């Protein structure tokens, strides 16, 4: 009896093998099994959806202004507010001198241009805007279609640059504090930081520079910190 069961099982396995590996079996699979497997594949494809991967890091860097030396930032439709010890101010081709003071408050509305970080903690701002204000004195264009061109150079005491976007920033000789979301603060001392696809805010308040925003990738002294979070 047991022998007959084993023989029957062997015959069944042999038939299945012929269906799978023989040319006739291949034709059978393509004709009958193909649509079935395609059907289940379609179902699983609909059930398993690819979840978007968040590849950005929330970053906050507290350091000194000198780490931005050599960086340029292009801005569009930007409202600038900077207080600085000025070297030169040129508005609509005219040199502006403030009597009895070398410190000015400089503001613009709807500025387009470039903010350049020079050496020795100096800054140079070149652009055009809808209006310019120097220590409360407002310079306006002759018509609404015109814009005022200006160039400003000096040592800033404070400024705020919002909605800044930068593909790559390589910052050298950093001393301060680096924070990422949900991470313990990292104490930096003469370290090098490379960040990519930065979008955020750069603020100077007296001697403290704050860089806050999001980046797609960050590396500290060549060590990748991104971790695909």
Note the pLDDT tens digit of each residue in 67-84: 999 999 998 888 889 999
Same domain, 156 and 68: yes
Question: What pLDDT shows up at residue 221?
Answer: 94
Better-predicted residue by pLDDT, 100 or 228:
100
Question: What pLDDT shows up at residue 39?
Answer: 43
Question: What pLDDT shows up at residue 151?
Answer: 96
Same domain, 39 and 81: no
Domain count, the chain: 2
pLDDT digits (tens, 9 = 90+) for 160-212: 998 899 999 999 999 999 998 778 899 999 999 999 999 999 999 988 999 99
Same domain, 36 and 102: no
Residue 15 structural domain:
2-47
* pLDDT surpassing 50 at residue 60: yes
Torsion of CA 59, 65, 70, 75, to 10 degrees: 60
Residue 49 sits at the vertex; the CA angle it makes with 46 and 50, to the nearest 5 degrees, is 145
Same domain, 103 and 198: yes
* Beta strand extents in the chain (DSSP E only): 57-63, 72-78, 81-91, 94-95, 103-109, 111-117, 123-129, 131-134, 137-139, 148-180, 186-205, 208-215, 217-220, 223-224
Same domain, 210 and 108: yes
* pLDDT surpassing 60 at residue 142: yes
Same domain, 187 and 106: yes
**What integer is the mean pLDDT of 203-228?**
88
129 touches 150 (CB < 8 A): yes
Same domain, 31 and 105: no
CA 88 to chain centre: 33
Question: What pLDDT shows up at residue 32?
Answer: 46
* Residue 229 covered by a domain: no
pTM: 0.71
Mean pLDDT over each residue of the chain, to the nearest integer: 81
84 touches 106 (CB < 8 A): yes
Same domain, 64 and 133: yes
Same domain, 31 and 87: no
Same domain, 9 and 97: no
- Nearest CA-CA partner of 76 in 136, 14, 163, 3: 163
Label residue 134 by pLDDT band (50, 70, 90). very high
80 touches 114 (CB < 8 A): no
Question: What pLDDT shows up at residue 49?
Answer: 47
Same domain, 21 and 85: no
- Nearest CA-CA partner of 72 in 165, 178, 155: 165
* Residue 52 covered by a domain: no
Question: What pLDDT shows up at residue 190?
Answer: 95
Out of 34-48, 84-98, 126-140, 202-216, pick the least confident: 34-48
How far apart, in Å, do the first and last CA atoms of the chain sit? Answer: 63
Residues in the chain: 229
Where do the H-state alpha helices sit in the chain? 2-21, 23-28, 34-47
């Amino acid at each position: 009896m047991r022998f007959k069961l084993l023989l029957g099982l062997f015959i069944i396995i042999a038939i299945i093998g012929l269906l799978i590996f023989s040319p006739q079996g291949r034709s059978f699979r393509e004709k009958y099994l193909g649509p079935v497997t395609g059907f289940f594949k379609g179902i699983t494809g609909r059930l398993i959806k690819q979840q978007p991967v968040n590849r950005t890091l929330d970053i906050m860097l507290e350091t000194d202004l000198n780490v931005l030396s050599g960086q340029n930032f292009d801005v569009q439709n930007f409202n600038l507010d900077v207080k600085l010890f000025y070297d030169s101010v040129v508005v609509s081709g005219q040199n502006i001198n403030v009597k009895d003071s070398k410190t000015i408050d400089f503001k613009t509305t709807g500025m387009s241009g470039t903010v350049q970080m020079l050496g020795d903690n100096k800054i140079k701002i070149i652009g055009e805007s809808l209006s310019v204000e120097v220590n409360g004195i407002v310079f306006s264009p002759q018509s609404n279609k015109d814009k005022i061109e200006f160039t400003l150079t000096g040592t800033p005491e404070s400024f705020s640059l919002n909605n800044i976007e930068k593909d790559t920033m390589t910052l050298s000789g950093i001393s301060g504090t680096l924070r990422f979301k949900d991470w313990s603060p990292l104490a930096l001392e003469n370290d090098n930081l490379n960040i990519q696809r930065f979008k955020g805010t750069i603020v100077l308040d007296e001697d403290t520079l704050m860089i806050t925003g999001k980046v797609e990738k960050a590396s500290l002294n060549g060590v990748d910190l991104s971790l695909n979070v």
